[in-house]
Amino acid sequence: MPSYTPPLDDIRFILHDVLDAQSLSALPGYEDVSPELIDQITEEGGKLCADILFPINQSGDEEGCQFDAGDVKTPAGFKDAYDMFAANGWCGVSSDPGYGGMGITVVLNTVMQEMICSANFSFGMYPGLSQGAYEALHKFGTDAQKETYLPKLVEGVWSGTMCLTEAHCGTDLGLIKTKAEPNKDGSYSITGTKIFISAGEHDLSENIVHLVLARLPDAQEGVKGISLFVVPKFLPECDGVGARNGVACGAIEHKMGIKASATCVMNFDGARGELVGEPHKGLRAMFTMMNAARLGVAMQGLGIAAVAYQNGLSYAKDRLQMRSLTGPKAPDKPADPIIVHPDVRRMLLTGKAFLEGARALSYWTGMNLDIAEKHPDADKRKEADDLVALLTPILKAYQTDMGTEVANLAVQVYGGHGYIREWGVEQYVRDARIAQIYEGTNGIQALDLVGRKMGQGYGRLLRRFFHPVQDFITENQMNVDVQEFIFPLAKAFAKLQQSTAFIAQNGLKNPDEAGAASNDYLRQFALVAMAYMWCKIVLAAQQKLKDGTGDKAFFEAKLKTARFFFSRMLPETDARFKMVLAGAGSLMSHEVEQF
């Protein structure tokens, strides 16, 4: 049976010592943020994830969701867990207190997302979708819409969805056909079918609030003709819910993974809806949900990697196979634990080095979301928002790729037992795989990075990352304690800048050049960002060792893991750099018939 222990020591170290998360208390509305509050929330959240959500993860996968004549029943235990989750305020951790939320920092919500996804990926889909609906309505809804929907979403008695995809179009939303006909009372009648709708129907909440993309009669073709509508399952009344709306679940998908998350076909048959935001500008509002969702998906990759690594490590310490190459390490036993073998250590350390660096990178992004929302200086808000916009496709793609990789490595550590369902780790591979696909495939994230983010504001977004990294290198290059880490960062960073210039120059001449380089460039960028975070981790760990506070072995392990990252993972940037410079020729020269 698998197990999960929230990595609270690592979380505290990143928040307190590496990133100084309590500095957010200087922002308006966050005055109560303190180390004590941060620890209290993460500890209580960890208990919920370990004691309530994790025990129903494997059984939820075995049972899956059940569809019956339009109704969807979630697996045993999910309803009780959701009720407890909502009753304790976890649906509104970072939501506006004006609508009943805790008003806690976004970065703490990011921490919760990681632990929830480690404990129960499928369960996390339900409140995760609600958070996206909340964000869109909070930013673009009318006052009446906010008063109607936000308190219920925050309380968790209503849940949310985002309805984009149709059978003939996924990424290309300009092709959607769902229609919105104006009614005399100012509402709209929504007609069409949406597919792959996570949490589209279930038995966890009393109402489901759908955010639906559709076209008005006067809409032009393409994405500029899309509007956004709020379409509830039950029409709201002053004391709760009223009549059933014209929206129903036609089927649920039978999937490779996340089987306890209901993935639905939703049929809208003249369903009553209200316009959210301006006509024909729905994609702008929907991107509020999508960007939040992409960062949430990045945390799914991190969360799956964390629990897969934990279980691989536990198995490697217990499983006896052969002797160490340098002689017996457990002479009192018939064989040594497999953790003595170099290749097993390679697999485990790949997971460990990814997790600890990506955790810092993710939490840093969460803190910048807080700054973008709360800082009193408009320029500071803009700088933070730019950085988040740049990092969003990088985190989504890299962390979900690595989530699958680390889950696969855990199966490999287990060997044949990893392929057997009862051990639980094969579920992590199946669950992780979707994160590379939805909310924009990872190929789309790479195109977003080179096609939109790189050139935006004449490179303004890139400068939000490049300048701090260059300043950091300059400030620390003479520090003998970190030179073994700073110099590899500086070399990798220089090659990232060269790749950036190459794509900018060649992509303008031939867009295929940018497209061909995009995946390798994103991976190169991610590894440099990880190296930057690892240098910050090293500095924090060294300071703790100098101070003589905390667990010495814990901080020494950080330095050893950093050495593994810089010697075994960061060199991938050299290969990615060469792939970027290889150009589009070998990719695009084949005629279709030659494949």
Nearest to 84 by CA among 108, 51, 117: 51
- Which residues, listed in sequence order, are joined to residue 244 by a DSSP beta bridge? 234
Phi-psi region of 234 (alpha: psi -120 to 50; beta: other; left: phi over 0): beta
Give the H or E element holding residue 248.
Answer: strand 247-252
CB atoms within 10 A of CB 595: 5
Q: Mark whether 271 and 164 lie in a shared domain.
A: yes
Token pair for 110: 């990011």
Residue 92: the pLDDT is 94
Q: Mark whether 567 and 475 lie in a shared domain.
A: yes
In angstroms, the CA 502 to CA 507 distance is: 8
In angstroms, the CA 224 to CA 281 distance is: 7
Q: Mark whether 88 and 121 lie in a shared domain.
A: yes
Which one of 279, 314, 345 terminates a domain? 279
Nearest to 110 by CA among 287, 359, 356: 359
Find out whether 18 and 537 touch, Cβ atoms under 8 Å. Answer: yes
Q: Mark whether 136 and 89 lie in a shared domain.
A: yes
Q: Mark whether 73 and 180 lie in a shared domain.
A: no
CB environment 543-570: b (16+ within 10 A), e (fewer): ebbeeeeeeeeebeebbebbbbbbeebb
SS (H, E, C) 190-232: EEEEEEEEECCCCCCCCEEEEEEEEECCCCCCCHHHEEEEEEE
Does residue 301 lie in a domain region? no
Residues 69, 71, 74: CA angle, nearest 5 degrees: 135
Residues 167, 169, 174: CA angle, nearest 5 degrees: 140
Catalytic residue, candidates 155, 166, 439, 513: 439
Give the H or E element holding residue 10.
Answer: helix 8-12
Helices within 449-510 (DSSP H only)? 460-476, 483-509
Residues 41, 44, 49: CA angle, nearest 5 degrees: 120
Q: Which residue has the tokens 């996206």?
A: 132
Find out whether 216 and 176 touch, Cβ atoms under 8 Å. Answer: no
Q: For the chain, what is the largest distance between any 2 Cα atoms, rounded to a whole number of angstroms?
A: 84
CB atoms within 10 A of CB 589: 8
User: Alpha-carbon dihedral of residues 7, 61, 63, 109, nearest 10 degrees?
Assistant: 50
Q: Mark whether 197 and 95 lie in a shared domain.
A: no
Q: Residue 429: which residues within 8 A CB-CB, separation 6 or more?
A: 257, 404, 407, 408, 411
Token pair for 331: 């002479």
Does residue 444 lie in a domain region? no
Alpha-carbon separation of residue 378 from 97, 291, 372, 384, 461 (angstroms)? 22, 21, 9, 10, 16
Q: Please tell me whether residue 454 adopts helix, strand or coil conformation.
A: coil
Tell me, rounded to whole angstroms, the distance of Cα 338 from its chain centroid. 32
> Torsions phi, psi of 580, nearest 5?
-60, -45
Q: Mark whether 513 and 543 lie in a shared domain.
A: yes
Does residue 219 lie in a domain region? yes
Tell me, rounded to whole angstroms, the distance of Cα 82 from its chain centroid. 21
CB atoms within 10 A of CB 118: 31
Does residue 376 lie in a domain region? no
Q: Mark whether 12 and 52 lie in a shared domain.
A: yes
- What is the per-residue DSSP string for 286-302? HHHHHHHHHHHHHHHHH
Does residue 591 lie in a domain region? no
Which one of 279, 303, 333 terminates a domain? 279
Q: Residue 501: which residues within 8 A CB-CB, separation 6 or more?
A: none
The pairs formed by 114-117 with CB atoms below 8 angstroms and a separation of 24 or more are: 114/299, 114/302, 114/303, 114/306, 114/359, 114/362, 115/6, 115/42, 115/45, 115/46, 115/49, 115/303, 116/49, 116/53, 116/303, 117/299, 117/300, 117/302, 117/303, 117/304
pLDDT in tens, the chain (595 residues): 899 999 999 999 999 999 999 999 999 999 999 999 999 999 999 999 999 999 999 999 999 999 999 999 999 999 999 999 999 999 999 999 999 999 999 999 999 999 999 999 999 999 999 999 999 999 999 999 999 999 999 999 999 999 999 998 877 777 899 999 999 999 999 999 999 999 999 999 999 999 999 999 999 988 889 999 999 999 999 878 899 999 999 999 999 999 999 999 999 999 999 999 999 999 888 777 777 789 999 999 999 999 999 999 999 999 999 999 999 999 999 999 999 999 999 999 999 999 999 999 999 999 999 999 999 999 999 999 999 999 999 999 999 999 999 999 999 999 999 999 999 999 999 999 999 999 999 999 999 999 999 999 999 999 999 999 999 999 999 999 999 999 999 999 999 999 999 999 999 899 999 999 999 999 999 999 999 999 999 999 999 999 999 999 999 999 999 999 999 999 999 999 999 999 999 999 999 999 9
Q: Mark whether 105 and 196 lie in a shared domain.
A: no
Q: What is the identity of the amino acid at 497?
A: Q
Does residue 116 lie in a domain region? yes
CA atoms within 13 A on the CB side of 471: 6
Q: Mark whether 465 and 578 lie in a shared domain.
A: yes
Which one of 255, 279, 303 terminates a domain? 279
Q: What is the identity of the amino acid at 239?
A: D
Q: Mark whether 457 and 576 lie in a shared domain.
A: yes
Boundaries of domain holding 251 = 160-279
Q: Mark whether 92 and 182 lie in a shared domain.
A: no
Q: What CATH number is attached to the domain comprising 194?
A: 2.40.110.20
Q: What CATH number is attached to the domain comprising 85?
A: 1.10.540.10
Report DSSP state, residue 400.
H
pTM of the model: 0.97
| Count of the separate structural domains present in the chain | 3
Give the H or E element holding residue 19.
Answer: none
Distance between terminal CA atoms of the chain? 44
In angstroms, the CA 10 to CA 38 distance is: 13
Residue 519: the pLDDT is 98
Find out whether 32 and 25 touch, Cβ atoms under 8 Å. Answer: yes
Q: Is 356 a catalytic residue?
A: no
Does residue 130 lie in a domain region? yes
Nearest to 303 by CA among 476, 129, 114, 152: 114
Does residue 402 lie in a domain region? no
